[in-house]
Amino acid sequence: MAIFFHYLSILLISAVIFLLLRAYRLRRLRLPPGNLGLPFVGETLQLISAYKTENPEPFIDERAKRHGSVFTTHVFGEPTVFSADPETNRFILQNEGKLFECSYPGSISNLLGKHSLLLMKGNLHKRMHSLTMSFANSSIIKDQLLVDIDRLIRLNLDSWTDRILLMEATKKITFELAVKQLMSFDPGEWSESLRKQYVLVIEGFFTVPLPLFSATYRRAIKARREVAEALSKIVKERREEYEKGERKNDMLGALLGGEWEDDQLSNEQIVDFMVALLVAGYETTSTIMTLAVKFLTQTPLALAQLKVKSRGKKYKQNKKVKVGTGNFVYPDIMMTLQIARLKL
C-alpha cells in the first residue's frame, strides 16, 4: 500500500509540474487566451463529441464568448489557435506562405504520409501541384471525365434498391470515379475493398494521434498500412509496364512519366501522393452532390423546370453534346446540376 501511494504521489507531482510548464509556455509564446484542457488529450474529446451532434457550433461559440473570437485550445495532440473572426481569417489566408505556413495535426499528417501533396513545401510542391493541374485540364480528362461520370452513375442507379442512403451512395460513386481517373480501374471487389479501408483512414483524421488512447486511430493506422500495400503493388506493376513501353492515360501514368530534377519519383512518393488525391475529393464532392439533390427536393420550381427541360425538344435525353474532342450523351443528372445552379 505504501508503494502505491508513493507512485501515486509521484504521478500527481509530475502532472502538476507538466501543467505549470505548459501554462508558462503558453504565456511565454503570447498566445491568445484559452484553455488547453487535459494533458495530451486537451479538448479533443469535447470537439469530437460536438461534431457528432446536429449542431457542433456551441463548441466554438462557448469558447469565443469566454475568451474572445480568437482563442487557444488543445486538439488532436497539439496546441491550436481557433479564429472565429472573419477579418483575421482573411488576413491569414491572404498571407499563407508569407507570414503563415500551412500545417496539419499529427493525426492527419501521419495518415497521409510524409510525401503527401498537402504536406509538401517549396519547389517539389509547385511541380507536383503543376502536374496535377495540367492533368486535370488535359484533353484526357475533358474527353473522358463526363463519360466516366455518366457510366458510373448509371451503373450505381441500376444497383439501387427501394431505399438507399444518398450520402453513402454518392461517396461510393465519387471514390470509384477517383480510382478510375487515377489508376484506370473500373468498379469491382478491389476498389470496394480499398474504399472500405479509406473510410477507416478518414475516421482517424480527427482523433488523438496516440494509439494507446484511441482505438479509432489504431484502426486508421492499420487501414492506412493496408491501403499503402495495395497501392504499392499497383505502382510497382505499372512501373514495370511503363519501362516496357506500355502507357496509360491516367494520373499514375503522368506521375511515372513526369520529368523531375531528382530523377523519377519513388514508389513511396507516388503512393503518398495518390493517398492524398483519393482523400481530397471523397468527402467534399460527395457532400456537394448530396446537397444538390437536397436543394432540388426542397425547391419545387427548380425541380419542375428540370422535368420540363429534360423532356423538352431542346434537352432530349439522347442529345449528344460536344465535350472536348468527343461526343457525350448528356444525362439527366447533369441537367439537374445545371438548372439547380441557375435557380438556387
Backbone angles phi, psi at 42, to 5 degrees: 65, -130
| Helices (runs of H) and strands (runs of E) counted in the chain | 15, 4
306 close to 292: Cβ distance less than 8 angstroms: no
Q: Are residues 144 and 39 part of one domain? A: no
17 close to 67: Cβ distance less than 8 angstroms: no
Q: Are residues 142 and 92 part of one domain? A: no
Q: Are residues 292 and 174 part of one domain? A: yes
Q: Are residues 81 and 198 part of one domain? A: no
- Give the pLDDT of residue 260: 55
Residue 159: domain span: 122-300
Render pLDDT for 15-52 as a digit per residue (tens, 0 to 9). 445 454 555 555 556 788 888 887 777 888 888 888 77
Q: Are residues 86 and 220 part of one domain? A: no
Q: Are residues 154 and 56 part of one domain? A: no
Q: Are residues 50 and 177 part of one domain? A: no
Give residue 341's pLDDT band: very low, low, confident or very high (50, 70, 90): very low
Joined together, the cell numbers standing for residue 60 give 466554438
332: pLDDT strictly greater than 50: no
The answer to whether residue 323 is domain-embedded is no
Position with higher pLDDT, 27 vs 79: 79
Q: For the chain, give the mean pLDDT.
A: 76
116: pLDDT strictly greater than 70: yes
Joined together, the cell numbers standing for residue 53 give 451532434
Q: Are residues 184 and 46 part of one domain? A: no
Q: Are residues 277 and 160 part of one domain? A: yes
Q: Percentage of the chain surpassing pLDDT 70?
A: 75
The answer to whether residue 310 is domain-embedded is no
Number of neighbouring beta carbons within 10 Å of residue 325: 8
The answer to whether residue 333 is domain-embedded is no
CATH at residue 205: 1.10.630.10
The answer to whether residue 59 is domain-embedded is yes
Give residue 139's pLDDT band: very low, low, confident or very high (50, 70, 90): low
The answer to whether residue 132 is domain-embedded is yes
Q: Are residues 229 and 129 part of one domain? A: yes
Q: Are residues 262 and 157 part of one domain? A: yes
Q: Are residues 253 and 132 part of one domain? A: yes
Tell me which residue has cell 513545401: 121
Number of domains into which the chain is organized? 2
329: pLDDT strictly greater than 50: no
Number of neighbouring beta carbons within 10 Å of residue 198: 21
Position with higher pLDDT, 227 vs 260: 227
Give residue 201's pLDDT band: very low, low, confident or very high (50, 70, 90): very high
Residues 309, 311, 317, 321, CA torsion sign: negative
Greatest mean pLDDT among 27-36, 141-150, 276-285 lies in 276-285
57: pLDDT strictly greater than 70: yes
User: 114, 117, 42: which is closest to 82 by C-alpha?
Assistant: 42
